[in-house]
Structure 1
Amino acid sequence: MTAEIIPAGDAMERAISLLEAGEVVAIPTETVYGLAGDATTGVAVAKIYEAKGRPRFNPLIAHVASMDMARRIGRFDPLSLKLAEAFWPGPLTLVLPLQPAAGIHPLATTGLDTIALRMPRGFGGELIARLGRPLAAPSANSSGRISGTSAEAVAADLGGRIPLVVDGGPTPVGLESTIVKVEDGTVRLLRPGGIAAEEIERVAGVRLARNSGGAIQAPGMLASHYAPGASVRLGVDAVKAGEALLAFGPHRAAGSEKAVAVKNLSETGDLREAAANLFAFLQALDRTGAAAIAVEPIPMQGLGEAINDRLARAAAPRG
């Protein structure tokens, strides 16, 4: 099987037909490309895991097209509702108690009594509305590898395992969604992502608590994830021989002229631009065949928290 690649403007009917038949398709969202299947159908959810080679203990986000659909699946407390109204549709995922008759297949929740919900913009939202059912849609990449932010990247990774890639062009955010969970008035950040923690804090009126490890409660919490084939070395002030360089800002690490290749996430130090470029640039440097990718320091404020989170997971020891 080789995936069809169809422009988003022409792909709706084909995508619906495949999803109704229990297949999975890669679709553009504002964050990264998602590998979508009917979240209510066990066969479709199993095909997502199979295509990704994903560990079965890593739950999936259910994507919805409306608050009515969301309320049928998750139980909203007032603070979660406030966050949904402020940031949906958009790159925020809320972990909520699962409604008793939610209809989400237990394989998607990995047996948890909670559900991760998001409302995407654009093609994904339109597709879910037309289908009338939520879509489970983790990032469209082999498990643990770099997330796809273009149809070409998805097809290169998964094209032999899925029937369709919907081409919506490069994804504008370039990082997966921010995941939060409200518990007893505390808003816990489970995964930093496409909405900066400070933006959520302004709406919530409380500081976010950071996750301190422990059980996996949401997608993207594995210690080793987003990994290129090359090893990754973080916070470098000097490049070693044979390394590729992932740069940031106007000033270079010592020895950058010796790097196998250089990609700058943002020449001006713009964190939004850096987030959008992160996965595509990691993939490009990995394709050079360098044994290691050296990464210049990136500030922790704003979207820098999410960028550093992904880089730390990319650099983690491989299990």
Structure 2
Amino acid sequence: MIATQDLTDSPEDIARAAEILRAGGLVAFPTETVYGLGGDARSDHAVARIFEAKGRPRFNPLIVHVPDVDSARRFARLDARAEAVAAAFWPGPLTLVLPLRADAGVSPLVTAGLETVAIRVPAHPVARALLQAFGGPLAAPSANPSGKVSPTRADHVRAGLAGRIEAILDGGACAVGVESTILGLEGAPSLLRPGGVPAEALEAVLDCAPVAGGSAARPNAPGQLASHYAPGAMVRLEVTVPEPGEIWVGFGPCPGAALSLSETGDLVEAAARLFHVLREADALAGAGASGRIAFAPVPETGLGRAINDRLRRAAAPRG
């Protein structure tokens, strides 16, 4: 059991977090999407500890976080398309899967032995300050036990990982609330995971629509497992009339709903609230002994694609 430190976003605590990372420790930190569980991406030991703390399958790649596009070029090869997308969306909630440079120096555990690397430049000021203080790349999946609901607040991290990691850097609630969009650019642009950057925005920069990509059997980026983001309760989707005892989560006008992603039907609000509401609904379902959560329909447009992707994985059969 590790004594997990609670750190603030003060310069002193950010410096302390960087010291922990340099010593091979793990630090949970906020990004604009969700909290990440950071470890030195160049250290086999640190990366192995990320897998251990999360109970994460070893074949699932991790995202490397860097402070700027110049740093990204040290680890990956960016072609003209990647440069254009990076200029448009970095820093921000977009991850690019790119060819790994031969001299990148990242642990092969980060890439799951693939010849590509998932990389992004986060926008959250605390994440950026930590990356600058640390001075290297951070491997950072979401800071929660593998397959469970992603954390958008420091107390979510504490509930799942306290005693397993060295520190939690509290930077408040995450603004975007769903993980980054993952775009593969090894060949034709492929959407490997919907997320904080809508596919329509990528299409406008690329002048083409990214094709759907990714495989639950052989993931080449995070977030592709069929069952993921799972609460303890069973989940039903597209529910307009809940069954007795179900905790109904609304979107837009839903009289009688116990909780709502957004009462006004705002997809940005719904994305930011998704994982927090999923945790609340899970607690209510457990307290009421129904063990079931029902979600109202969410439009399959813009950020709705990312929301529905997470909900479908939360509702998938568990292995």
User: After TM superposition, is the score higher than 0.5?
Assistant: yes
Number of matched pairs: 311
Q: Distance in 2 between matches of 1:129 and 1:88?
A: 16
In structure 2, the residue matched to 1:170 is 173
* Contact residue 214 and residue 224 of structure 2 kept, 8 A: no
Report deviation, 1:215.
2.6
Q: Distance in 2 between matches of 1:58 and 1:183?
A: 18
Report deviation, 1:212.
6.2
Structure-2-length-normalised TM-score? 0.95
1:33 and 2:35 matched: yes
What is the CA deviation profile of residues 149-169 of structure 1, one whole-angstrom value per residue up to 9, with x for unaligned ones?
000111011112112111100
* Contact residue 15 and residue 130 of structure 2 kept, 8 A: no
Q: Distance in 2 between matches of 1:2 and 1:235?
A: 42
What is the CA deviation profile of residues 259-297 of structure 1, one whole-angstrom value per residue up to 9, with x for unaligned ones?
xxx110001100000000000000011112140100100
Report deviation, 1:2.
3.7
Q: Where in structure 1 do 4 or more consecutive aligned residues deviate above 6 Å?
A: none
In structure 1, the residue matched to 2:316 is 316
What is the CA deviation profile of residues 118-158 of structure 1, one whole-angstrom value per residue up to 9, with x for unaligned ones?
00121112211222210000000000000000001110111
1:280 and 2:276 matched: yes
* Contact residue 224 and residue 315 of structure 1 kept, 8 A: yes
1:99 and 2:96 matched: no
Q: Distance in 2 between matches of 1:79 and 1:116?
A: 16
Q: Distance in 2 between matches of 1:13 and 1:207?
A: 42
In structure 2, the residue matched to 1:111 is 113
Q: Which amino acid aligns with 2:313?
A: R
Q: Distance in 1 between matches of 2:252 and 2:276?
A: 17
Q: 1:265 aligns with which of 255, 261, 266?
A: 261
Structure 2: stretches of 5+ with no match in the other structure? none
Indicate the SS of the match to 1:175. coil
Q: Distance in 2 between matches of 1:158 and 1:215?
A: 27
1:7 and 2:8 matched: yes
In structure 1, the residue matched to 2:292 is 292
Instruction: Give the 5 Å matches for 1:123-134.
Output: 123-134=126-137
In structure 2, the residue matched to 1:188 is 190
* Contact residue 5 and residue 151 of structure 1 kept, 8 A: no
Structure 1: stretches of 5+ with no match in the other structure? none
Q: Distance in 2 between matches of 1:196 and 1:162?
A: 33
Q: Distance in 1 between matches of 2:176 and 2:126?
A: 15
Indicate the SS of the match to 1:5. strand
Q: Which amino acid aligns with 1:264?
A: S
* Contact residue 237 and residue 296 of structure 1 kept, 8 A: yes
Q: Distance in 2 between matches of 1:178 and 1:222?
A: 15
Larger displacement relative to structure 2 (91-100 or 211-220):
211-220
* Contact residue 5 and residue 166 of structure 1 kept, 8 A: yes
Q: Distance in 1 between matches of 2:208 and 2:254?
A: 36
Tell me the C-alpha RMSD between the 2 structures.
Answer: 1.2
1:149 and 2:152 matched: yes
Report deviation, 1:204.
1.3
Report deviation, 1:238.
1.1
Q: Which amino acid aligns with 1:138?
A: P
Report deviation, 1:240.
1.1
Q: Distance in 2 between matches of 1:193 and 1:11?
A: 30
What is the CA deviation profile of residues 76-129 of structure 1, one whole-angstrom value per residue up to 9, with x for unaligned ones?
111011001110000000000000000100011110000000001211122112
Report deviation, 1:246.
1.4
In structure 2, the residue matched to 1:301 is 301
Percent identity of the aligned residues? 53
Q: Which amino acid aligns with 2:295?
A: V
Q: Distance in 2 between matches of 1:263 and 1:42?
A: 42
1:228 and 2:231 matched: yes
What is the CA deviation profile of residues 209-261 of structure 1, one whole-angstrom value per residue up to 9, with x for unaligned ones?
11264631101100000000000000012111221111100134xxx46xxxx
Report deviation, 1:36.
0.2
Structure-1-length-normalised TM-score? 0.95
Q: Distance in 2 between matches of 1:212 and 1:7?
A: 37
